[in-house]
Amino acid sequence: MTETISFKLNGRSISLSTDGERMLLWVLRTDLGLTGTKYGCGKAQCGACTVIVDGKAVRSCVVPVGYVKGKDVITIEGLAKNGKLHPIQEAFVKHDALQCGFCTPGTILNAYSLLLKNPRPSRAEIIQGMDDNLCRCGAHVRIIRAIESAAEEMRRR
Amino acid sequence: MKEDEYIELDFSDITTDPNLTRREFLRLIGGGIIIFFSIGDGSTVEGRRRGRGYPEDFNAYLRIGADGRVTCFTGKIEMGQGVVTSLAQMLADEIDVSLQSVDMVMGDTTLCPWDMGTFGSMTTRFFGPALRAAGAEARAVLIELAAEFLQTPAERLATENGAVFDKKNKAKQVSYAQLAKGKTIARRAKGKPALKKPSEFKIVGRDVLRRDALEKVTGAAKFAGDIRLPDMLYAKILRPPAHGAKMRSVDTSAVEDVDGARLIRDGDLIAVLHKSPDGAEKALEKIKAEFDVPQATVDDETIFEHLLSSAQRRNVVASGGNIESGEKLADIRIEQTYLDGYVAHAPMETHTALAKVDGNKATVWASTQTPFSLKDQVAEALGFAQQDVRVITPFVGGGFGGKTSGRQAIEAARLAKLASKPVQVAWSREEEFFYDTFRPAAVVKIRSGVTKAGKIVFWDYGVYSAGERGSAQFYDIPHHITASFGGWMGGSGSVHPFATGPWRAPANNTNTFARESQIDIMASKAAMDPVEFRLKNLRDERMISALKAAAEEFGWTRSKAPSGRGLGVACGTDSGTCVALIAEVAVDKASGHVQVKRVVCGQEMGLVINPEGARIQMEGCITMGLGYALSEDIHFEGGKIVDVNFDTYELPRFSWVPKIETVLVEAQGTSPQGGGEPAIICMGAVIANAIFDATGARLLQLPMNPKRTKQALTSGTHDVQNLAHA
């Protein structure tokens, strides 16, 4: 059923008229043109579609857009501020923590929520927190290193 | 690395007539100094044979523009392997410009000349030398022009950072931009221009960060599914429940209940189009179709019998001496059968394409490793001339061999033509598993013998349906024969119940698993340390250097297996590169779970262009290889694929990843070899050998999942000996 759905997207208030049962992933990618959020599996099993809703990582392929009404949504496009990369993005670049780059937006946003919850994660906590994000190219060791260094940098700032 | 070193790949739509003459082509690419070159006679001849358009004598070119920037146009594509960085390094060094002055235009069949495709770890090996030669040619042309411009003899001139200068008076100089301005000079790289010596490299051999990282961490990087065109529609296609299924009846009447849905039916192709992908999905669910599914005659348990009984013609890959004589010399004889299941490519980006048809012309944005052959397939499907189809390859979200097949692009093109609108086809994960060209299941049978002193004296090797890559053994064995029965496609279409195809280092993962397991069994029977045993039987200096490098880095100490330490070793060769892995594992005897704790990889790959890039590929190979070694195995019942998502098809995860150390053996004086595939080939054997060292149990079938490991722990070996065929 078509309804008006308002929420905050990457810091800006938006309103759109659509069926609230549609998955957030498709609304972001199609209606809102934010293609940084990727489809990987459609069943919340890979993490490529991860976005942040009210500070928590969610799998946008299984979250209806109606759920984010009045909430604060951050996608990969909203992580850099005023053209300046977020420390996690910087760390991914500096550590070559990606290959094909397709899982990268979801991986970065999952790491972002992990560091919001736990600014001082141990290596084991990073591994545990990232374990449900799949990367087929095998950039894992560098992703762990990048998150460790980003955590350090975020604490320093 | 500074931010301005990032480049943006140009995937924007430049409208051109693909049917170009060479003169028009030169006009299209603009003025400047243009150097045409070809990768090698083989690929150019192939291009000619197939009647390609303009690349009659070249299949790539570079241009120095009036802005002094150097652009390389190549049919190669970037799918994570990092050639967008390493190729630019090679070109920058040879032509003497900074790395940030180089742009790469990749995988566009109109802008870039014909190329066979991006696979087989061939870009650096075969494209690299040609690119360097073209760079050297360009530099020679620039020096000629500068000699005239500066009124100075060419031999007195040298180049540095985008300028030519007088060696006797460095202030007397002219930039490449000045030299290229207003000129259209086309040359063909030929002969053997003087390439730089490794000692002269400033950029090659240096660690360089990925040049595409900025776009990829911000979400700006465009993959095929991210391209948007006005009025485009998203398609969902009706799929059969199994390969070989025939549709009995279909009722599409309820599609119209979905607002905005449009049904397209063209023979076997039944699809719904909608302005959103989820709208199309919803409409597809309204279609009621019944299929007749043929009785399954084979499944993932019985496939091996089937492969042996349908064994194709025997092809001798390598041989020497006489097996019978060798058998007489052996004190210990070992006969073993190794099995390997079907494995999916499972790139994170599913097969995706967007097609636009204008009149009798089509443009397709596709996730593909082979844009040029895809162009021809699309042309055939649409009944268009080959030159009227353009394929543009944006960033590819992983390929691993699976994106050499482009069914999705043909579907998108057909639908776009039928609908007269741009149409995107993006496979769901379920479709990706269903239509994947799996790595074939395979059987390897080996008989071998060794003396008490640890010398291998005979080797009789047969591989069934995997293919021959990596099957020829490289040990110093006097009496040996290696035969392949059926290629990696299984010889004929009827052997496998569904499509199979090249999967990262095709056949070599299977062959190396079998060979290096057998070598380990012999070492153990001869009561020798597995590293020492290999060194005793190796004569190949490059392989020896890789193995010694790995052993040294690991801190290997001698012991015969099983030592209880959980250490394994395996060697292999692929794409001209020699690789040796040493791994440490922990085996949970109660559950059969294997945790790989540490992997050291020694690799001799000739000249290394971007050491950091090479290490990333080695790490990626080792990490990805954990999957086929420990968990990945397609379950199926005849043509029905049981594993269709990541809940049952388990990819390696963060918690699986060991400590990884990589060692590049110094070989700067030799030509570069492949780096995208070699390190993955040893993962099966190195883990199998480490499990044996930990527990004394020998696993003979991949993947070594907890069930099989537990079974082997109970029986001492996972029994695959009950196969009827010899």
Among B219, B278, B612, select the one facing A36 at the smallest CB separation.
B219
Question: Given an 8 Å threshold on Cβ–Cβ distance, is B623 in contact with A98?
Answer: no
Q: Environment class of residue B623 by beta-carbon count within 10 Å: exposed (0-12), middle (13-18) or buried (19+)? A: buried
Whether residue B348 and residue A40 make contact (CB cut-off 8 A), yes or no, is: yes
Does A101 score more than 60 pLDDT? yes
Are the beta carbons of B619 and A141 separated by less than 8 Å?
yes
Report the candidate in B528, B516, B523, B621 with the shortest Cα–Cα distance to residue B570: B516
pLDDT at residue number B4 = 30
Residue B117's closest CA among B435, B366, B433?
B366
Continuous segment of H or E residues that includes residue B519 = helix B508-525
* Residue A80, H or E segment: none
- Long-range contacts, stretch A16-22, CB < 8 angstroms, 24+ apart: A18/A65, A20/A64, A20/A65, A20/A66, A20/A69, A21/A64, A21/A65, A21/A66, A22/A64, A22/A65, A22/B276, A22/B278
Q: State whether residue A103 sits within 8 Å of chain B by CB.
A: yes
pLDDT digits (tens, 9 = 90+) for B585-627: 999 999 999 999 999 999 999 989 999 999 999 999 999 999 9
pLDDT grade for B192, boundaries at 50, 70 and 90: low
Q: For residue B181, what pLDDT band results from cuts at 50, 70 and 90?
A: confident
Four-residue CA torsion sign, B11, B15, B21, B23: negative
For residue B246, is pLDDT > 70? Answer: yes
B31 within 8 A of B127, measured Cβ to Cβ: no
Contacts of B506 (CB under 8 A, 6+ apart): B401, B439, B467, B469, B488
For residue range B653-662, list pLDDT tens digits in order.
Answer: 999 999 999 9
Closest among B104, B99, B47, B110 to B77, alpha carbons compared? B104
Strand order in the sheet with B233-237: B262-266, B269-274, B233-237, B423-426, B352-358, B361-366, B389-392
Q: Distances from the Cα of B534 to the Cαs of A40, B240, B510, in angstroms?
A: 43, 50, 19
List CB contacts (< 8 A) between A41 and chain B: 429, 645-646
Band (pLDDT 50/70/90 cuts) for residue B39 is: low
Provide the pLDDT for residue B124: 80
Mean pLDDT of B658-669: 93
List every span in chain B annotated with CATH 3.30.365.10.
3-218, 224-293+351-426, 303-342+438-715
Tell me the CA distances in angstroms from B403 to B213, B367, B423, B572, B697, one per residue in order: 22, 7, 19, 25, 38
Q: What is the pLDDT of residue B312?
A: 74
Q: A46 is written with which tokens? A: 């890979």
Q: What is the mean pLDDT of residues A41-45?
A: 98
Query: Which chain B positions have a beta carbon within 8 Å of A135's beta carbon?
Result: 348
Mean pLDDT of the B430-443 span: 96
Give me the pLDDT at residue B15, please.
30
* B664 contacts B600 by C-beta, under 8 angstroms: no
Of A79, A102, A131, the CB nearest to B653: A131
Give the model confidence (pLDDT) of B478-528 as tens digits.
999 999 998 766 544 568 889 999 999 999 999 999 999 999 999 999 999
**DSSP codes, A1-61:** -EEEEEEEETTEEEEEEEETTSBHHHIIIIIS--TTS--S-SSSSS-TTEEEETTEEEETT
| CA A114 – CA A103 distance, rounded (Å) | 16
Of A30, A46, A100, the CB nearest to B80: A100
On chain A, the residues whose CB falls within 8 A of the CB of B630 are none
Give the A:B interface size as CB pairs under 8 Å: 176
Sign of CA dihedral A154, B2, B3, B8: negative
Q: Mean of the per-residue pLDDT values for chain B?
A: 90
Q: What is the pLDDT of residue B672?
A: 86
What are the tens digits of pLDDT across the range B351-386? 999 999 999 999 999 999 999 999 999 999 999 999
Chain A environment of B79 (Cβ under 8 Å): 100
Tell me if A105 and B653 make a contact (CB, 8 A cut-off): no
The C-alpha of B349 sits at a distance from chain A's nearest C-alpha, in angstroms, of: 6
A87-156 maps to CATH 1.10.150.120: yes
Name residues whose C-beta falls within 8 Å of residue B321's C-beta, 6 or more positions apart in sequence: B458, B477, B478, B479, B480
Q: Which residues of B are catalytic?
A: 677
CB B714 within 8 A of CB B706: no
Looking at residue B245, what is its pLDDT?
Answer: 96
CATH topology classification for A2-78: Ubiquitin-like (UB roll) (3.10.20)
Q: How far apart are CA B168 and CA B588, in angstroms?
A: 71
Q: For the domain bounded by B224-293+351-426, which CATH number is listed?
A: 3.30.365.10
Say if the Cβ atoms of A93 and B209 lie within 8 Å: yes
DSSP B124: I
Confidence of residue A98 (pLDDT cuts 50, 70, 90): very high
- B107-156 residue pLDDT tens: 999 888 888 888 877 778 878 888 888 888 899 889 999 999 999 999 99
CA–CA gap between residue A90 and residue A70 (Å, rounded): 30
d(CA B461, CA B219): 49
Cβ neighbours of residue A46 under 8 Å, at least 6 residues apart?
A40, A103, A106, A133, A134, B348, B429, B646
Q: What integer is the mean pLDDT of B180-195?
A: 76
Asked if A94 has any chain B CB less than 8 Å from its own CB, the reply is yes
| For chain A, domain boundaries | 2-78, 87-156
* Of the candidates B372, B377, B444, the residue with the CA atom closest to the CA atom of residue B117: B372
Structure tokens at B574: 């692929």
Residue B55 above 60 pLDDT?
no
Nearest residue of B to residue A103 by CA position?
B348
Q: Would you say residue B580 has pLDDT above 90?
A: yes
Say how far apart CA B382 and CA B416 lie, in whole Å: 10
Is A136 in contact with B400 (Cβ distance < 8 A)?
yes
Q: Which residues of B touch A148 (CB under 8 A)?
A: none
Q: Do B651 and A136 touch (CB under 8 A)?
A: yes
Chain A's closest residue to B224, CA to CA, is A35
CB–CB of B215 and A142 under 8 A?
A: no
Q: Which CATH number fits domain B303-342+438-715: 3.30.390.30, 3.30.470.10, 3.30.365.10, 1.10.1740.10?
A: 3.30.365.10
pLDDT attached to residue B19: 45
- Residue type (1 letter), B542: R
Write the pLDDT tens digit of every residue in B279-299: 999 999 999 999 999 999 999
Integer Cα distance of B369 and B547 in angstroms: 32
Of A80, A134, A135, the CB nearest to B218: A80
ipTM of predicted assembly, 2 dp = 0.98
| DSSP classification of residue A66 | G
Count of other CB atoms within 10 angstroms of residue B492: 11
Q: What is the mean pLDDT of residues B86-107?
A: 93
Cβ–Cβ gap A96/B209 under 8 Å: yes
Task: Output the pLDDT for position B14.
Answer: 31
Residue B58: band (very low, low, confident or very high) from pLDDT cuts 50, 70, 90: low
Residue B231 C-alpha, separation from nearest chain A C-alpha, in angstroms: 12
Quick one: pLDDT at residue B116? 83
Closest partner residue to B348 (CB to CB) among A48, A93, A128 is A48
- According to DSSP, the β-strands at A2-9 and A72-74 are parallel
Span B3-218 CATH architecture: 2-Layer Sandwich (3.30)
Cis peptide before B230 (omega within 30 of 0): no
